[in-house]
Chain A
Amino acid sequence: MRLINLFAAAALVLAAAHVYNIKFAATVEAEKVAKLRTEIARERDAIAALRAEAAQLENPARIQALAERHLPLKPLDPAQIITVEEIPFPPHDGATPASDDPAGIRIRIGPGNIATGSIVPLPRPR
């Protein structure tokens, strides 16, 4: 009987301590959550302020004024706009995937095999 008494008393003390721990931990978590919420709100406000500032910097009137002052660009003429289909690509003659110029990019002019400072001559065929 005395043993059960002892166990019961010990269990009582342990249970009380456990409950206290849990309550304390719950309060700490709640405070953390509240702090996170405040931080989220602050970050959102900062994001909004930065987006407003970015939009102010991207104001078309401001960009136009800066471009007119500092850049040599001119307004676009409709004749300057074409689509990819309208670009006259060079014709592909002698271009196969196996040759050393598969896309037909190399322009053959003159006697061929010209070497300059930037063009390396093709290896002479044996």
Chain B
Amino acid sequence: MHVAAPASPEMGMPTTTPHLPWRRRIAQVLLYGQDVDRARKTKARIGLAVVVFAIVYAVIAVRLVGLAASPESHIAHHAHTSDAVATARPDILDRNGEILATDVKVPSLFAEPRRIIDVDEAVELLTAVMPDLDTVELRQRLGSKRGFAWLKRQITAEQREQVHRLGIPGIGFLRENMRVYPSGREISHLIGHVNVDNQGIAGIEKWLDNRGLADLHRAGFAADREQKPVELAVDLRVQHALRDELAAAAKTFSAKAAAGVVLDVRTGEIIAMVSQPDYDPNNPREALDPKRINRLTTGVFEMGSTFKAITIAMALDAGKATLKSTFDARAPLRYGRFSIGDYHAQRRILTVPEVFTYSSNIGAAKMALAVGVKEHRAFLRKIGQLDRLRTELPESAAPLVPARWSEINTVTISFGHGLSVAPLQALMGFGALMNGGSLIPPTFLRRSEDEARAIAKRVLKPQTSLAMRYLMRLNTEEGSGSKADVKGYYVGGKTGTAEKVVDGRYSKSKLLTDFIAVLPADAPRYLVLVMLDEPQPTEQTHGFATAGWNAAPTTAKIIARIAPMLGLAPRFDLPQAERLILTSARKRR
């Protein structure tokens, strides 16, 4: 082809654009365009790269700022690999904040038998340091090919040091929670105890588990000690004073057992509860001994003459008697082959206050019969004496109620024989008699008066309660409770002496004596129950073993000791019982 080109004077060759195949020409046209300068294209590409990187850096900068501003949520929770998985329990405190039960971390010895190189050497060294390990069992455990085996749980810090220094491979320590009861012996039945895995198996500890702690532990929570402490209504000082005096009384009167309760009548809180013989919850092996049961909740007893107060309250409330009524106690009551007589037989007509102060069985029986068999039974059911009393303690006993209830049963139950109740139950009924007529179920947890009023059940008229307070004080001034009087605290009380049933017959030598005291009698705040099982006569009691000689003086000693702790100031300017009931009756009009 001939291309016209300007002729160059020097060269004879024409300068032409190179001939490209027609495909490449099309590509060039499409991609680059005809008139784009190559140098400018390079610049544009570099600019594009700069913009991209700038965007990337901007993103990184924004992310940095964001990360710095937001809270750090990726810090690894370092698990305490040196602690065992078991279970922390909340502290248990008394009403003043004293520690009754707490967790302490103690080391426990374990072995990984697979990793133990020389079993004999390990056994020798370990038994040298801890001689109470069983050699045969230890050899067996270390010789097995398991991955993990406990050797001894809850060892002391010195033992841990010594075993650590032995340097045996395959032996290690895990820290476990151990439950410690600093004042264990004082509160044994009340607080209960735990097993080696820190699970509650008796008392308030068991109640804690039932309340939800066991579920928490099963779900894997509650591994550390971040839980709120549990506050009980018990007062450790009052508890100790009660226990100390009961132990002294059991020794003085050679009694088989002694038990006592201090109850707040307005709130139903149990301020102290002691049942001797008891055990040390730090060493709970003794708890299995059947002699060491809690006699107040798991034992049922015929309470004796203290029940007369309930009978009289029933008669007064039903309108079948007033404080001025009289009952004929000249001759014993006869029922077939049974004859009901009085212990301090007066052989005359007695007024209602005299029935109470002379503790007349005949008078009480006649009052109960005046009310009627069915109403008697209904009243006892109303104040909770016929059904099992359930408190926070998992252990409870059902009362022994006669299957067929006829007149003879009413007669015997009216003076406290024939119906066996748990002593705490009888005290609950007494509380209703003293606090104005409201039946409040007893509790071991703190409870305010308003909460108590909300769950209280009205069982008596207030005038009946007033009359009963007067009778209780009269009994201490003039009657069988005179040894329980403590000057300054206006104590009222009722003795109860019950013959125990031996081989189906009432035994005259084996007695169960109890005393229920109320203080102060004009505006009751606390009830104190003292119970002695088989007290013996001593020289000071002139050969008598009835409640007025042993339970009543013990109650006096207890009240003298605990009244200041309960916040009661002594008052020495109080009128006699007679004047007091007149003034309060006048005030209420």
Contacts and interface: CB of A to CB of B under 8 A. Distances in A.
Contacts of A30: 72, 74-76
Contacts of A55: 98-99, 102, 182-183
B380 interface: no
Given A34-B75, A44-B225, A75 B561 contact: yes
Contact of A1 (B46, B67, B185, B236): B46
Interface string B57-82: 10010001001100010111010100
A49 B563 CA distance: 33
Nearest to B103: A48
Interface string A32-68: 0110011001001100110111011011110010000
Contacts of A58: 98, 182
B488 A78 contact: yes
A76 interface: yes
A76 B183 contact: no
Contacts of A103: none
B180 A52 contact: yes
B329 interface: no
B80 A41 contact: yes
Interface string B74-104: 1110101000000000000000001100111
A64 B186 contact: no
Interface in B460-484: none
B563 A78 contact: yes
B182 A48 contact: no
B296 to A, nearest CB: 20
Contacts of B78: 34, 37-38
A48 B102 contact: yes
A15 B57 contact: yes
Contact of A83 (B105, B240, B569): B569
A60 B236 contact: yes
B48 to A, nearest CB: 12
Q: Which of B80, B105, B241 has the largest number of chain A CB atoms within 10 A?
A: B105
A18 to B, nearest CB: 8
Given A49-B104, A61-B240, A76-B564, A1 B43 contact: yes
Contacts of B111: none
Nearest to A44: B225
A61 B487 contact: no
Contacts of B233: none
Nearest to A77: B560
Range of interface residues on chain B? 35 or more
A122 interface: no
Grouping DSSP codes into helix (H, G, I), strand (E, B) and loop, the A interface class, with mixed when no group exceeds half, is helix
A55 B191 CA distance: 16
Contacts of A49: 104-105
> Size range of the interface on A?
35 or more
Interface string B165-200: 000000000000000101101100000000000000
A30 B67 CA distance: 15
Contact of B183 (A44, A45, A60): A60
Interface string A5-37: 000100110010011001000100110011001
B486 interface: yes
A100 to B, nearest CB: 38
A5 to B, nearest CB: 8
A63 to B, nearest CB: 9
Nearest to B46: A1
Interface string B184-225: 011000000000000000000000000000000000000011
A81 interface: yes
B182 A15 contact: no
A49 to B, nearest CB: 5
Contacts of A120: none
B570 A78 contact: yes
Given A41-B224, A48-B102, A59 B489 contact: no
A61 B183 contact: yes
A79 B186 contact: no
Given A56-B182, A78-B489, A51 B99 contact: yes
A4 interface: yes
Residue among B76, B102, B182, B560 facing the most chain A CB atoms (10 A cut-off): B182
A114 to B, nearest CB: 38
Contacts of A11: 57
B542 to A, nearest CB: 26
Given A33-B75, A61-B244, A19 B64 contact: yes
A59 B186 contact: yes
B237 interface: yes
Contacts of A61: 183, 185-186, 240, 244
Nearest to B54: A8
Given A49-B104, A83-B569, A4 B50 contact: yes
A81 B564 contact: yes
A69 B78 CA distance: 51
Interface in A53-110: 53, 55-56, 58-61, 64, 75-79, 81, 83
Contacts of A60: 183, 186, 236-237, 240-241
Interface of A: 1, 4, 8, 11-12, 15, 18-19, 22, 26, 29-30, 33-34, 37-38, 41, 44-45, 48-49, 51-53, 55-56, 58-61, 64, 75-79, 81, 83
Given A56-B182, A61-B240, 18 more contacts: A8-B50, A11-B57, A18-B64, A22-B64, A41-B80, A48-B104, A48-B105, A48-B225, A49-B105, A52-B99, A55-B98, A56-B183, A60-B240, A61-B183, A75-B561, A77-B560, A78-B489, A81-B570
Interface of B: 43, 46, 50, 53, 57, 60, 64, 67-68, 72, 74-76, 78, 80, 98-99, 102-105, 180, 182-183, 185-186, 224-225, 236-237, 240-241, 244, 486-489, 560-561, 563-564, 569-570, 572
14 contacts: A8-B53, A15-B60, A19-B60, A30-B76, A38-B80, A41-B224, A48-B102, A48-B104, A51-B99, A55-B102, A59-B186, A60-B236, A78-B560, A81-B570
